[in-house]
Amino acid sequence: MTSTSKPRITIVGYGSQGRAHALNLRDSGFDVTVGLRSGGPTETKARADGFTVKAPADAVKGAEIVAVLTPDMVQPQLYGEVIEPNIAQGACLLFAHGFNVHYGQITPREDLDVVLVAPKGPGALVRREYEIGRGVPSVYAVHQDKSGNAETFALTYCAGIGGARQNAIRTTFKEETETDLFGEQAVLCGGATKLVQAGWETLVEAGYQPEVAYYECLHELKLIVDLFYEGGVTRMHEFISETAQYGALTRGPYVVDDNTRAQMKKVLTEIQDGTFARQWIAEYAAGNANYKSMKQADLEHPIEAVGKKLRANMKWLSTSPQQAQPPAAALEPQTAAA
């Protein structure tokens, strides 16, 4: 490695996070190359954005930092067949999620620095906040520090994408991976989705209009989440009625009770002991039949048809920042294959 000020960077993958990282780093003065397979769906987009695009094997050869921003499940093969044979001696290998390193799917070469930089937001937000002079908070970690400068490289990259404009928090690959998976499964994606669906079903089964139930259990959830985002539970209490507060304080524990907490602990245990990782790796290797079936059932839930009809009349959605770009995997930084 020749420099820690403006190292040459290759971004492998150009999905939601990959594009945002590449654009932000270039605007921060870095020499950025994008590694993509020829003819892939994102090659045209990267070239249109003005980047030098090379096949991944060629792109990583001259890089001082190689950022792997492809989906988790394609990374082991990509690393073994393309990156490891071509990445320069002593270069820095960077991930946006610790899954493969933490669960032993990738064992990086011993001469490499190995770090993690994970923005806590989707790529569209990472780009938008950078453009207006702010940044999405990020966490970073060092797994392997061969050069003695691994933390510096992580923080340099973090600053380049705008993450260091906020308070970048040092973590570990273990902590980032396990907390990220838990948040997705128990609260943000799995927990929230099932809570919304169960609430809607409860009202509809009791004879209430599906459209009214949609507004109460799904649509208005954004209002509460925005308050959480801006100022935590404290801000929510400042803006909801006393009736809503009393109902939340007295009836919330009906829903999230000791059994719910026990189930959350089970989710966490299966993340910590590798059960979830083994299941997901096996599912992917077998062709994803169960995953596709379960996802399709989610997409075909009756609340989706009701919501589609109601949202057709919400003209403001077509001009919102979130609608301008697909919200591709806010919680999974690697969203497009190389």
Q: 123: annotated binding-site residue?
A: yes
16 is in an annotated binding site: yes
Characterize 251-260 residue by residue with b for buried, 16 or more Cβ atoms within 10 angstroms of its Cβ, and e for exposed. eeeeeeeeee
Of the candidates 97, 102, 143, 237, the residue annotated as catalytic is 97
Q: Within 10 A of 291 (CB to CB), how many other CB atoms are there?
A: 13
Reading the block at residue 223, the tokens are 């209002």
Residues sharing a CB contact under 8 Å with residue 16, sequence separation 6 or more, in sequence order: 122, 123, 124, 325, 326, 328, 329, 333, 335, 336
Q: Is 97 a catalytic residue?
A: yes
> Residue 247, annotated ligand binder?
no
> Annotation-wise, does 103 bind a ligand?
no
**Binding residue per annotation — 107?**
no
DSSP3 helix / strand / coil % (the chain, rounded to 5): 60, 10, 30
- CA-CA distances (angstroms) from residue 327 to 16, 81, 98, 141? 8, 30, 21, 26
What CA–CA distance (Å, rounded) separates 181 from 175?
Answer: 10
User: Is 42 labeled as ligand-binding?
Assistant: yes
Please name which of 168, 46, 14, 157 lies closest in space to residue 91, comparing C-alpha atoms. Answer: 157
| Separation between Cα atoms, residue 28 and residue 204, nearest integer Å | 52
CA distance 53 to 12: 10
Distance of alpha carbon 64 from alpha carbon 150, whole angstroms: 11
37 is in an annotated binding site: yes
Edge to edge, what strands does the sheet with 113-119 contain? 52-54, 32-35, 9-12, 65-68, 92-95, 113-119, 138-144, 169-170
Binding residues for NADP(+): 14-17, 37, 42, 123
Binding residues: 14-17, 37, 42, 123, 180, 184, 216, 220, 241
Annotated active-site positions, please?
A: 97
Binding residues for substrate: 241
Binding residues for Mg(2+): 180, 184, 216, 220
